[in-house]
Amino acid sequence: PARERIAAAGADNVELLHADAQAYAFETGSFDAVISRFGMMFFENPQAAFTNLARALRAGGRLIFVCPQDPLKNQWVVVAFGAAVAALGRAPDLGAPGAPGPFAFADGDRLTQLLIGAGFRDVRLESLTRPVCIGRTISDAVGFILSLPESNQLFAGVPQDTVDAAAAALHAGFAPYAGQQGVVVDATAWLVTAHR
C-alpha cells in the first residue's frame, strides 16, 4: 500500500526501507527528522532504537512521534476492560509496564529518560485527547477489540458462551459512542518532540 500511495501522489523523492531501527546502520547525521505515528512503542530495546535514531539525525534534527498514554485514558480500553471484567471477572493482561506493546511509553517520565539517555535534548511530551473512530459500526468495533492479541490471549480456552457474553458487553458498551461517523471514542496520546 505504501508504494501505491507514493506512486499515486507522484512522489519521486521517497525511498522505502524495511529495516530494524534498533540496529540498522543509518548514515550518521543523514536525516533532518524522524517521524512516527504509533510505531515506536514496539521496540524490543527502545534505548538502542532511540540511540540509533539519534545518531542518524543531523545536529539540530528533530524527533517527532505519537504514542498512547495510560490505557485507562482511552475510552475504547475502558469499555473493553469493562466487558472483560463483566464476562470473566478480570481484565486483559497488558504485560509488564514498559514492555513492548501499545502502551510501552504510557509512563511519560520513563519515556523522557529514555530519550535523554539516547542523546536527545529539549524533550517535550504534550498530552493530546482526540476522537478516534474504532469501527464503522458497533460490530466493527467489537470485531476490532476481539481481534487484538490481548483479547486472543484473554479468551484462549474460554467457553464460547463466555466469549459471546463479552461480545454482548462490548456491543452494549460501545452503543453510546455509535453515530453517523461510526463508533467514535476519545483516545489520549503523547505528542513527543525532541532535538538532536
For 46-61, what is each residue's pLDDT tens digit? 999 999 999 999 999 9
Helix, strand, or coil (residue 34): strand
Distance of CA 117 to the CA centre of its chain: 22
pLDDT the model gives residue 136:
97
Distance CA 55, CA 36 (A): 17
CB burial of 3-19 (b: ≥16 within 10 Å; e: otherwise) equals eeeeeeeeeeeeeeeee
Give the SS3 label for residue 21: coil
What integer is the mean pLDDT of 131-151?
94
For residues 17-39, give the mean pLDDT: 95
Tell me the sheet residues that pair with 133: 184
* % of the chain surpassing 70 pLDDT: 100
Give all strands (DSSP E) within the chain, no chain letters.
31-37, 57-68, 121-135, 178-179, 182-195
Provide the 3-class DSSP secondary structure of residue 67.
strand
* pTM reported for the whole predicted model: 0.86
